[in-house]
Amino acid sequence: MSSKSSNRFSKPDAKAAKGQEKRAWLGFVDIALTDEQRAIVAESVFGDEGALSFLQEMTEDGYKISVVEDPAHNCYVATATGSHPQNINCGYSLTARGPNVVGCLASLAYKHIALCDGGIWTNFSNSTTKSSWG
């Protein structure tokens, strides 16, 4: 890592200095899919283009998106976190699992778009938790 790239991490108040208010993390939003909903996601034709389009839209809407492999559970996990202060889900994280990167993004898109209509996740969840598991 170059010293230039590491410098951006040494200034945690950089956003605040630009007039952006940082909101505390509030926890994971639990939206579990039913077997029927999982089948819908599995049968969808989301594909690479759908995944890239979804990533583009979500980042433009103020979400931080991450995807990691979970070898212990033989899957991938996608997480969307409302990171912009004006984002309606600011401070909350929504996760989804899938067999590969595109699959977990398809599951996340289904939860965000089909179940929540792009709206407030906590209106459609059973609970929120600050546990390390989403």
Domains located in the chain, CATH noted: 19-129 (3.30.160)
Structure-block tokens of residue 69: 């492999």
- pLDDT mean by block of 10 residues, the chain; 134 residues: 36 45 84 93 92 95 96 97 93 95 96 94 76 44
pTM of the model: 0.79
Residue 17 contacts by C-beta under 8 Å, 6 or more apart in sequence?
none
- How far apart, in whole angstroms, are the C-alpha atoms of residue 134 and residue 121? 13
Asked whether 88 and 26 are in contact (CB, 8 A), the reply is: no
The span from the CA of 49 to the CA of 47, in Å, is 6
Residue identified by tokens 């938790």 is 129
pLDDT at position 24 is 87
